[in-house]
Amino acid sequence: MEKILAVIRIRGNTGIRGSMKDTMRMLRLTRVNHCTLFEATAQNLGMIKKCKDYVTWGEVDKATLSKLLEKRGRIGQRKLDGKDLEELKIKSFDELADAVLSGSLLLKNSKIKQVFRLHPPRKGHKSTKEYFPRGSLGNRREKINEIIGRMV
């Protein structure tokens, strides 16, 4: 199973090229502070690297993914809750996070929305124009869990 990457949009649409807008739409990152999950395939990494000036990404861990699904997971207009987990035959959000990380449950095949709408990070971004570690853009590797924790 491939690693699961969390991708968060940091910058807006102003001055963005049309091809970049299309790539962002394919990544389901239409607005600032939206987060999506992807497998680390060559195709997905190519699209993410094309948008490196607008997004940050990294490998998400189980605890952070569990918290993200619990606090920001949605089915339609309502929050993800215990009844929805029962329908999926899953007991807890930790178990749901395990299923997503192992690849046994794909969000696109379930009713769970693939886009997580996050708050701006507590204590703000370092810079929305510079790359990590001096700013907020680019590949954060395992440090993505820290910023997701500040945004949930």
Q: Which domain holds residue 28?
A: 4-61+116-151
Would you give per-residue pLDDT tens digits along the chain (152 residues)?
Answer: 578 999 999 999 888 999 999 999 999 999 999 999 999 999 999 999 999 999 999 999 999 999 999 999 999 899 998 898 898 889 999 999 999 998 888 888 888 999 999 999 999 988 889 899 899 999 999 999 999 999 99
Residues 101 and 127 reside in one and the same domain: no
16: domain CATH number? Answer: 3.30.1390.20
Say whether both 56 and 122 belong to one domain.
yes
SS (H, E, C) the chain: CCCEEEEEECCCCCCCCHHHHHHHHHCCCCCCCEEEEEECCHHHHHHHHHCCCCEEEEECCHHHHHHHHHHHCEECCEECCHHHHHHCCCCCHHHHHHHHHHCCCCHHHCCCCCEEECCCCCCCCCCCCCECCCCCEEECHHHHHHHHHHHC
Same domain for 42 and 66, yes or no, is no
Instruction: Tell whether 46 and 83 lie within a shared domain.
Output: no
Q: Are residues 89 and 120 in the same domain?
A: no
- β-strand 78-79 against 74-75: which pairing, if any? antiparallel
Q: What is the pLDDT of residue 1?
A: 59
Residues 19 and 66 in one domain: no
pLDDT digits (tens, 9 = 90+) for 117-126: 999 999 998 8
Q: What percent of the chain has pLDDT over 70?
A: 99
Tell me how many domains the chain contains. 2
What are 124's two structure tokens? 């703000």
Give the separation between CA 72 and CA 94, rounded to whole angstroms: 14
Query: Based on the domain organization, do 41 and 53 belong to the same domain?
Result: yes
Both 75 and 88 in one domain: the answer is yes
Pair 94, 66 in one domain: yes
Task: Clarify whether residues 127 and 147 are in a common domain.
Answer: yes
Give residue for tokens 């395939």: 41
Interior CA angle at 67 toward 61 and 70, to 5°?
135
